[in-house]
Chain A
Amino acid sequence: MPTYGKGLRGLSILTLTTIVVALTLVFFWVPQDASQGFIQKIFYIHVPLAIVSLCGFVFGGILAVMHLRTGDRRYDMRSYVAIHMSLIFGVGGLITGSIWAKASWGHWWVWNEPTLVSFLIVLLMYATYTPFRFSIEDPERQGRYASVFAIVAGAFVPLNFLAVRLAQQYVHPRVLTLTGGNLPGPMRLTFTVSLIGVALLFVTLWKYEMAAKNARIQMRTLRRRLLGDDDLRPPQRSAAPTL
């Protein structure tokens, strides 16, 4: 019997520490932005959320490729968890972005910020993943089709960013670039720590959900076996996220 959630405690402590350090830096150490003031600090949460969410989508796409290549359905479950976790992070990124837009430009939503618009489109795309997935009844097909979706959507992300970026005629003077290339030192350090914190949070939550799902499947298998129902598929193959 495999044990799930190995190393989760250490990872959780590391994540918590990094996030506490990041927040301390954000609120007590890094200097305020000269033009935007206090609200600019949301940047340290908003941008990491968005970056991690996009990376999570790509990660989900890579896992989907692995699923189709190997036929191992555990990859499908990993891909599923990665994508729906990314969706949650993405919604967080969108809301914080909206707050930032309201504070600095006076509107909750601005169409001439290409990154924000692209991000919305990507989220709209991935928001269909779950309803699509669960409206396929056959579990095998569900996994396969979901993986195809994840791969297609993964290819879609960069093209979408390119098209939306080109479509903007009046791009706002960008205060800060995503890469932090022209950030002053303390800002860059704070941003990096925040990014690592959010990334660790993603990994931790992903692992927690994987452990929970695996444990639940194992529980159910054991319970059925206790009830004398030996008419079960061997447990290592029943890794479908459908529960």
Chain B
Amino acid sequence: MVDTPAIELRGVARFFGERIALRNISVIVPAGATLAVLGRNGAGKSTLLRVLATLLRQHAGEVSLLGEPLPQRAFAVRGRLGLLAHEPLLYRDLSGRENLRYHARLHGVSAERVEDLLREVGMERRGDEPVRLLSRGMVQRVAVCRAVLHDPEILLLDEARANLDPGASELVEPLLGRASGRTRVITSHDPQAALAEADFALGLRDGRPTFSLPADQVTPEHVRELYA
């Protein structure tokens, strides 16, 4: 089992009607490593993350997470991955604490874990305010708690730091960062920052891979080609 990669994609494709969102994506991420997915808006980054999150099924190719093939065994991995995307996935009219307690119940996690996490991101005092009254940065901190509530083995981060100020970014680092020990797939609008914390990099352009390399072999030309 040690050798089983956390994430393995082989020839994965996903369509929206006849439009191609992803095509021929193959990548292997060993457990504990970080994959940075780079590309312009609409290149297929979010679609790839949604496929990995079991929210979309692929139309061709093979996806396997933690050794379990998707979509057949999706239920086996669902509780073992966390997704943090543009949407916080929180109810605006409930407080952060209520939202997290709801997710804790869905995931079978204790209420203490909710308190621990709120404290860790510095939200324990504002945890009872409705989410709609919180600033974007605070909402994002609660969303971080939501994503790691069940201590997932795989973390899918879609522009996770976009709304966090530097201080908050440091606060969530132990939860989201490399030190968390989780296998991570990250996207970012800032390719340099993403590459800096990644082991592998996948470049996407119009849904197709342009490169799939160890992060330290990605040259500025590679990046320029992506965004040109």
Direct contact of A and B (CB under 8 A): yes
Interface presence of B20 (CB below 8 A):
yes
Q: Which of B17, B20, B59, B206 contacts A240 (CB 8 A)?
A: B17
The answer to whether B206 touches A233, judged by C-beta atoms less than 8 angstroms apart, is: no
Q: Which residues of B contact A238 (CB under 8 A)?
A: 17-18
The answer to whether A139 touches B206, judged by C-beta atoms less than 8 angstroms apart, is: no
CB distance from A188 to the nearest CB of B (A): 50
* Main SS class of interface, A: loop
Interface presence of B15 (CB below 8 A):
yes
Q: Which residues of B contact A231 (CB under 8 A)?
A: 20, 206
Q: Which residues of A contact B59 (CB under 8 A)?
A: 233, 237
Q: Which residues of B contact A237 (CB under 8 A)?
A: 15, 59
Tally B residues with Cβ within 8 Å of A. Answer: 8
For the complex, give the distance between the alpha carbons of A65 and B3 in Å. 41
Interface string of A121-159 (1 = CB under 8 A from B): 000000000000000001110000000000000000000
For the complex, give the distance between the alpha carbons of A188 and B59 in Å. 52
CB distance from B209 to the nearest CB of A (A): 14
**Interfacial residues of chain B within 1-46, with CB under 8 A of chain A in the complex:** 15-20
For the complex, give the distance between the alpha carbons of A165 and B59 in Å. 47
Using A231-B206, A237-B59 as known contacts, say yes or no to A139 and B20 having CB atoms under 8 A apart: no
CB distance from B59 to the nearest CB of A (A): 7
Nearest residue (CB) in A for B207 is: A231
Q: Which residues of B contact A226 (CB under 8 A)?
A: none
Q: Which of B17, B19, B20, B206 contacts A242 (CB 8 A)?
A: B17
Which residues of A pack against B, CB within 8 Å? Answer: 138-140, 231-233, 237-238, 240, 242
Given contacts A232-B20, A237-B59, A240-B17, 13 further A-B contacts (CB under 8 A): A138-B17, A139-B16, A140-B16, A140-B17, A231-B20, A231-B206, A233-B15, A233-B18, A233-B19, A233-B20, A233-B59, A237-B15, A238-B18
